């Protein structure tokens, strides 16, 4: 076990580098690699995105100083996870304060792409780390809980939008779709991410396994002990490394009342009350917990990853390989981008163009005459 302390009360846990890159296939696997990865357990500075970006850079610098090549941040680190908030909504009514709360939350979100994404890219490049960051993405009037990916040269690789917000999250976050479920080929391995309870969706996990995921990132807001069982199961099921990052938050990390109220509790928590205890963890493909879970404070949880463990794990269980039964079971993934609005004028124009092209083609055909000189020829053959 190796311990290290940093400037703030961050505890370092144990250990043992073009536009969006294309989804990977499963060919060309190499197990002769070792990297160091860090999952960050820290709180958003709520309603202050510039300050949160500054904090993200400081934490990334500390992870890089530990020798990490991959740094994974929690769900909604940029933009914030609005724990305890109701946004003034009940069935049939939304309060004026709730609408204002949503406006402020919307203002804290980021555009993808946008200036905050550029800042994150520069952080990844400056510290030469692959960066996986939980963000709240602003898409017009709709917000999405998302993850954005960057390589060690600072290139933005792509994003994943949470497919299924949980319970009251559906009030404030839109649904993702099949077009943002990447597994990205990078210098440190094949990286993808599912967010929080998406990880409970067996078919979604199977899609990620089918893309050959090696570094399975699981940013979350779930700090319960049962989450650890899920992370271990996924590592064993997928034969992949699982890196789960959660925030560690106290009540004072959110705005004070009455500006921000924690609903659903018998009484308002005191400023030092822990409202999310973290539980960030790294698990190997063999089901071994390499680092964490940490429930003590803000922390950098890191481990050295031996990619040979992926092959060792798949020796007796390859969920989409020799242990699959495609003669019985199959999975179809609709990974296209759906559109909420389609203009029929565009369709009509395209149909008219196709009709005109067909008319011109028919007029250009030549009717050959019957051949003479006693030879049997073509009888009105159209070319």
Look at phi and psi of residue 167 and say left if phi exceeds 0, alpha if psi is from -120 to 50, else beta: left
Tell me, yes or no, if 296 is annotated catalytic. Answer: no
Strand partners, 182: none
* Secondary structure (DSSP) of 242-255: EEE-B-EEEGGGSP
Quickly count: other Cβ atoms within 10 Å of residue 8's Cβ. Answer: 12
Look at phi and psi of residue 74 and say left if phi exceeds 0, alpha if psi is from -120 to 50, else beta: beta
Angle at 125 between CA 192 and CA 47, to 5 degrees: 75
Catalytic residue from among 75, 185, 198, 298: 75
What is the pairing mode between strands 70-72 and 130-139?
parallel
* Secondary structure class of 11 (helix, strand, coil): strand
* Secondary structure (DSSP) of 33-55: -EEEEEEEE----TT-HHHHHHH
Take residue 83 and report the two structure tokens written for it: 């724990």
Active centre residues (catalytic)? 75
């Amino acid at each position: 076990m190796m311990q290290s302390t940093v400037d703030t009360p961050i505890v370092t846990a144990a250990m043992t580098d073009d536009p969006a890159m294309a989804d990977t296939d499963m060919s060309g696997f190499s197990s002769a690699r070792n990297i160091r990865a860090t999952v960050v357990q820290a709180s958003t500075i709520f309603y202050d995105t510039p300050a949160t970006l500054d904090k993200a850079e400081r934490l990334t610098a500390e992870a890089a100083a530990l020798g990490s090549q991959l740094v994974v941040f929690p769900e909604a680190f940029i933009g914030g996870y609005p724990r305890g908030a109701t946004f003034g909504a009940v069935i049939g009514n939304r309060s004026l304060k709730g609408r204002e709360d949503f406006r402020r939350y919307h203002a804290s979100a980021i555009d993808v792409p946008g200036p905050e994404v550029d800042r994150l890219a520069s952080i990844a490049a400056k510290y030469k780390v692959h960066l996986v960051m939980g963000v709240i993405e602003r898409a017009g009037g709709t917000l999405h809980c998302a993850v954005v990916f960057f390589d060690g040269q600072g290139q933005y690789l792509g994003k994943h939008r949470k497919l299924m917000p949980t319970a009251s999250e559906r009030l404030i976050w839109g649904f993702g779709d099949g077009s943002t479920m990447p597994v990205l080929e990078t210098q440190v391995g094949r990286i993808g991410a599912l967010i929080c309870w998406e990880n409970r969706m067996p078919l979604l996990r199977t899609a990620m396994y089918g893309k050959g995921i090696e570094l399975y990132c699981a940013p979350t807001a779930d700090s319960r002990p049962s989450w650890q069982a899920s992370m271990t199961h996924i590592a064993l099921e997928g034969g992949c490394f699982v890196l789960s990052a959660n925030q560690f938050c106290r009540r004072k990390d959110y705005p004070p009342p009455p500006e921000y109220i924690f609903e659903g509790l018998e009484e308002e928590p005191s400023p030092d009350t822990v409202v999310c205890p973290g539980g960030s963890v790294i698990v190997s493909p063999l089901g071994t917990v390499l680092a964490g879970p940490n429930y003590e404070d803000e922390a950098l949880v890191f481990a050295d990853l031996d990619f040979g463990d992926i092959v060792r794990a798949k020796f007796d269980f390859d969920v989409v390989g020799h242990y699959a039964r495609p003669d019985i079971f199959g999975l179809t993934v609709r990974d296209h981008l759906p559109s909420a609005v389609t203009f029929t004028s565009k369709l009509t124009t395209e149909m008219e163009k196709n009709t005109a092209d067909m008319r011109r083609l028919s007029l250009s055909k030549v009717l050959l005459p019957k051949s003479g000189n006693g030879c049997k020829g073509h009888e009105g053959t159209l070319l």
